[in-house]
Structure 1
Amino acid sequence: MRRHLSWISSVVVIAGLLVGACSNSGGEKTPDTPVSREANASPGVTADEIHFAAIGTKTNNPLGTCLYDCFIQGINAYFDYRNSEGGLDGRKLKLTTTIDDALAKNKEGSLQIINDNDTFATLSVPMLATGWPDLANAGIPVYSVPWYPDDMNGHDSIYASNGVECIACTRHFMAYAPKVLGDKKIATLGYGVSQSSKDCANAATDTIKLYSKETGQQVVYTNNGIAFGIPNGIGPEVSAMKNAGVEFIVSCFDINGQKTLAQELKRQGMADVPILQSNSYDLTFMKGAGDLFEGDVLGVAFRPFESNGEGNGLALFKKWMEKSGSKLTELAEYGWIAAETAYQGIKAAGPGFTQASVVKATNALTSFTAGGLVPAIDWSRQHEMPTQDDPATHGPKQECMSLLTYKGGKFEFIGGATAEKPWLCWPGTDRKWSEPVPTDFQ
C-alpha cells in the first residue's frame, strides 16, 4: 500500500534518520507562443528545450512511501500541460536527468548534477537534503516539498510549497481544531530522538497554553520523549492519557507511529478520541485501516482534492494527472507546484534568462499561490525562518491551514472551511487569538 508524507511526518522521520546516521499567483493563462529562441548559454537550455534534473529517495525509503515516483508524476503532468500549449516561449520543458539518491547519497547525486552541468534547475524530493547546500552554492535553483525548513533557511534559491516555517512556534490551528470539536483536555505527543518532533510537540503545548483563556483548553498530558517508531508499543502512555481524561491528541509522529497510536487507543476503549494529524492525507490508506481513523482531524497546507477547482489550478492538475494515467496524490500535487514555481520564475525572468536571473525574478513574486494551490507566499522575504516573537518579518501574510475530518470513508471540511474556501486563515502579523476567516486563493 502506498503511503504519503506531510511536512510534520517527514521532518520527524528525517531527524530520526539523522540521529541514526550520525505579487504573482502563477495563473494558468499562456500568451501566444513566439518562435523558438537560440540557446542562451545557460546549462540545460537549448533553442528548443529547457532541461531539468530530479533527485529524490526511492530505494531505501524507510517508510515505503510513494515519494520519488509520485513527485515526478506531478512534474511530468505539469510539463505535459505546458508543452501542450507550446512550452515556455517555444521551448519544451523536459525532465532529462533523474537520480534515486537511495536515502544516503543525496549529496553525491547533487554533486553529479552540478558536475554534469547539463540541466537548468533541480526538482528535489529527498528524505535527507544533504546536497542542498552544494546546489545552492552552485547557484542552481531548487524546487521541493515543504518538509525541510532548516535546510531551506537562508537559501534564497530553494523553493517549496510554502516559505520557511517555524516548527517550534505556536500555530493557531493546533488550538482551533479541538475547539471546533468542543474538546478541552488535550494531550501532545512527540518523539524524543527527533528535535523536529520535540519542537512540534512543544509548540502544540505552548499553543494550548497561549490560547487557554480564549478556548478553555488545558494540556493534561504531554510526552515529547516517545521512542522513535514506537518499537515497544505505546500502551502505558495511552493508559496515562486515559487516566488524565484526554479528549483530543495533537500528534507529532510519523504516519506509522500515528497508526500505532490509533490502534492502542482503540484497544483501550479510546477510539473516540480524535488525533490531529498533519499527514495521512491519503484516502486509500485511511480506508484500508477500517474505522481506525474515524473522526480524526487532518491539517492540510495545500488545496485539498475535495476543493472546488474553478478559478484555480486544481482542475488542471486533476485533468493532466488523469491524462497521464496517474493517481491523485499529495506528492504529485507537490511536484506540480514545484514545476509551476520553476515555470513562473523563468517566465518572469524574461528573454535571455539565467539561473541567477530566475532566482532574482522568483524572489520578486510577492503573492505566489501556484495557481491557487497554496496560500500566498512572498518570496521576497520568506527565505528566512520566522520566530515566536516576530512572525511577521519573514512569515506569511496569513497563517492558513485546511482542516478536514475523516468520516465514513471520506474527508469532510470542518471549522468553517468549505470546498469554495478551503483554508482557515489568521493574520500573520501577530500571534493573538482570533477566529479564522475561511479563505480561497486564486
Structure 2
Amino acid sequence: MLLAAALALAACSNVSSTGGADQPAGPAPSNGAPGVTAKQIRFAAFGTRSNNPLGTCVLDCFVQGVNAYFAYRNSQGGIFGRTLTVSQVEDDALLKDQQAALRVTTTNSTFGAFSAAQLADGWSTITKAGMPLYVWPINPASMNGNDAVYGSAAPVCLGCTRRPYVLAAREAGGTRIATLGYGATDNSKLCASSAAASVRLYGAESGQQVVYTNDSLAFGLPNGIGPEVSAMKKAGTNMIVGCLDLNGMKALAQELQRQGMGSVPMLHLNTYDQDFVSRAGSLFDGDYVAVNFRPFEASAGSSQLGVYKDWMGRARAPLTELSMNGWISADLAYQGIKAAGASFTRASVIAATNKLTAFTGGGLVAPIDWSRQHEEPTQQDPATHGYANDCVSLVKVVKGRFEPVGPAAKPFFCWPGSTTAWSEPRSMDFS
C-alpha cells in the first residue's frame, strides 16, 4: 500500500529544477568493487513484472524512473568519471523474489540493486551479500532494522494512528466514516484499523466518528461488495477510507453508485494513476488520493519535479507513481556514492548513506534521516525513529483529473513528528 510520506527540509545535495550540475568530476580512480568498471557503475533491478494481480506496471515503470535519473546524471558527466547504468533486470514473477535476488547476487556483476517487489522475500539476500538496496517501500516490515535497505520513504508504523485520514475526511466534509481493508495482507488490514483508530482518537477535535469498519475483505472482492455497501448505507456513512488496490476501489465505487451512494467521497491510498482514473470517466469525481511524494500536479518550485518530468519526457515514458519512486531511489544511490568519495565501495556507500540526515530526493519527499530511520516508530514513541515532520500530500479528482488540495506551491500538509496529538496542519514547501 502507498505509505503517506511528504516533503520537508531540502538536503544540501539537492539540485534545482533547472538541472544545475553538482556531480563530482575528474578521472575515475581505481576501484575494485563488483559492478564498477573504469567507465561504468552497474546496478541490478528486480521485482514484479509477470503474474501481477493488480494488472499495473510495477518493475518496468520503476526501472523507467531509475533509467531516467541515470540519463540525467550521465548527461552531466556521471559521477567520478563513470556513467550509471542498470545492466541486469530480473522478473520475480510475484512469488519468486528470493530466486530473483539470488540471480543478482550469484552473478555478482553489479554494485547495488533496485527492487520493486510486491512480496519482498529477496531483500535480505541482497543485503547479506553486502550490497546497498533501494526499494519501492511498500513493505516496511522487510525494511525494518536493515540499515542497507533504502526507499523513497523510511519504514513507518502501519498500525499507528495518522492525522492525514482525519484531514482528508474533513476536506471532503465527512463526519460519519467507514474504513475498509483486505484481510489477506497486513498492509491493507493495518491501514483499515489505523484509519478507524485515528478517527476515534481525534474525533473530539474533528467532529468525526467511525460508523463502519471491515478489515477482512477477500482480496479481489470475488463475491462483490454489495452487503458491505448496504451496511455502510444503513450506518449513514458519508466518507470512506479505502485501503484497497485500485481495482478494488473501482468495484467499490461502482457498487456505491448502484446503491445510490455515488456522491459519498472516498480516500484512496493506491489510486494515483491518471490513466486509470481518466478511463473511469466520472466514477471517482470528488474522491481524494494520498500521494507519497510531491504530486505531479503541484508546481515544481525548486524541486526536482521539473527535472523528472523533463527526463521522463525525453524517454517518452509516462509519469507514474512507480517511476517517481524509481527516480527518488536512484537519486539516493547517487547521493550515497557521492558522499562516500571517489574510492567508494559497497560498504562505504552504505556507511555514507546512513549519515544523510535530511534526504529529500531533490525536494520530492519528506526529509529522511537515514542515521535513525531504519527502525519503525511506535505509537508511544513517534519521534526516535519517525519523521521530523509528519506530512501528507493530497489530490482531488475533478472531472476525471487530479488537482492538488491546498496551494500548488505548498502542496504538503504537515504536523510535528514528535507527537501524535492533533493540531492544525501547516501547508508547506521544502524544495
Write the distance in 2 (CA, Å) between the matches of 1:65 and 1:381: 33
Among candidates 416, 423, 429, match of residue 427 of structure 1: 416
Rate the CA distance shift 1:351–1:186 in 2: closer, same or farther, 3 A. Answer: same
Identity %: 51
Aligned to 1:161: 152
Cα shift at 1:32: 6.8
Please identify, of 202-211 and 99-108, the stretch whose mean Cα deviation from structure 2 is larger: 99-108
Aligned to 1:263: 254
Write the distance in 2 (CA, Å) between the matches of 1:55 and 1:24: 28
Among candidates 2, 8, 27, match of residue 14 of structure 2: 27
Among candidates 2, 6, 11, match of residue 2 of structure 2: 6
CA contact (8 A) 1:26 1:370 kept: no
Write the distance in 1 (CA, Å) between the matches of 2:228 and 2:2: 25
1:131 equivalent to 2:122? Answer yes
Question: Relative contact order (alpha carbons < 8 A, sep ≥ 6): 1 or 2 greater?
Answer: 2
Aligned to 1:177: 168
Cα shift at 1:173: 0.6
Structure 2 residue identity aligned to 1:287: S
Cα shift at 1:179: 1.3
Cα shift at 1:392: 0.5
CA contact (8 A) 2:115 2:135 kept: yes
Write the distance in 1 (CA, Å) between the matches of 2:146 and 2:241: 31
Aligned to 1:19: none
1:311 equivalent to 2:307? Answer no
Structure 1 residue identity aligned to 2:74: N
1:358 equivalent to 2:349? Answer yes
Write the distance in 2 (CA, Å) between the matches of 1:41 and 1:202: 49
Q: Deviations over 1:220-279 (max 9, x none)?
A: 111112122110111111111111100000111111111111110000000010111012
Among candidates 104, 108, 114, match of residue 113 of structure 1: 104
Structure 1 residue identity aligned to 2:383: A
Aligned to 1:409: 400
Rate the CA distance shift 1:367–1:59 in 2: closer, same or farther, 3 A. Answer: same
Among candidates 188, 192, 203, match of residue 197 of structure 1: 188
Q: TM-score, normalised by structure 2?
A: 0.95
CA contact (8 A) 1:413 1:422 kept: yes
1:64 equivalent to 2:51? Answer no
Among candidates 260, 283, 288, match of residue 292 of structure 1: 283
Cα shift at 1:199: 1.0
CA contact (8 A) 1:7 1:148 kept: no
Cα shift at 1:291: 1.2
Aligned to 2:214: 223
**1:59-98 map, 5 Å:** 59-98=50-89
Structure 1 residue identity aligned to 2:413: L
Which SS does the other structure have where 1:220 is aligned?
A: strand
CA contact (8 A) 1:337 1:373 kept: yes
Among candidates 313, 318, 324, match of residue 327 of structure 1: 318
1:387 equivalent to 2:378? Answer yes
Cα shift at 1:121: 0.5
Cα shift at 1:35: 3.1
Cα shift at 1:31: 3.8
Please identify, of 55-64 and 370-379, the stretch whose mean Cα deviation from structure 2 is larger: 55-64
Which SS does the other structure have where 2:318 is aligned?
A: coil
Structure 1 gaps of 5+ residues are 9-22
Write the distance in 2 (CA, Å) between the matches of 1:70 and 1:6: 16
Among candidates 221, 237, 244, match of residue 246 of structure 1: 237
1:46 equivalent to 2:37? Answer yes
Aligned to 1:12: none
CA contact (8 A) 2:298 2:411 kept: yes
Which SS does the other structure have where 2:297 is aligned?
A: coil
Write the distance in 2 (CA, Å) between the matches of 1:135 and 1:363: 17
Write the distance in 1 (CA, Å) between the matches of 2:103 and 2:345: 20
CA contact (8 A) 2:46 2:114 kept: yes
Write the distance in 1 (CA, Å) between the matches of 2:40 and 2:261: 57
Aligned to 1:102: 93
Structure 1 residue identity aligned to 2:288: V
Cα shift at 1:88: 0.5
1:418 equivalent to 2:414? Answer no
Cα shift at 1:401: 0.6
1:437 equivalent to 2:422? Answer no
Aligned to 1:18: none
Write the distance in 1 (CA, Å) between the matches of 2:193 and 2:301: 39
Structure 2 residue identity aligned to 1:266: Q
Aligned to 1:367: 358
Which SS does the other structure have where 2:45 is aligned?
A: strand
Structure 1 residue identity aligned to 2:145: G
Which SS does the other structure have where 1:75 is aligned?
A: helix
CA contact (8 A) 2:298 2:404 kept: no
What is the Cα-based RMSD across aligned positions, in Å? 1.4
Rate the CA distance shift 1:47–1:199 in 2: closer, same or farther, 3 A. Answer: same
1:233 equivalent to 2:224? Answer yes
Aligned to 2:7: none
Which SS does the other structure have where 2:88 is aligned?
A: strand
Alignment length (residue pairs): 422
Q: Deviations over 1:129-179 (max 9, x none)?
A: 111111111111000112010000000000011110111000001011111
Which SS does the other structure have where 1:211 is aligned?
A: helix
Aligned to 1:213: 204
Rate the CA distance shift 1:318–1:51 in 2: closer, same or farther, 3 A. Answer: same
Structure 2 gaps of 5+ residues are 5-9
Write the distance in 2 (CA, Å) between the matches of 1:297 and 1:409: 12
Structure 1 residue identity aligned to 2:421: K
Write the distance in 2 (CA, Å) between the matches of 1:55 and 1:91: 23
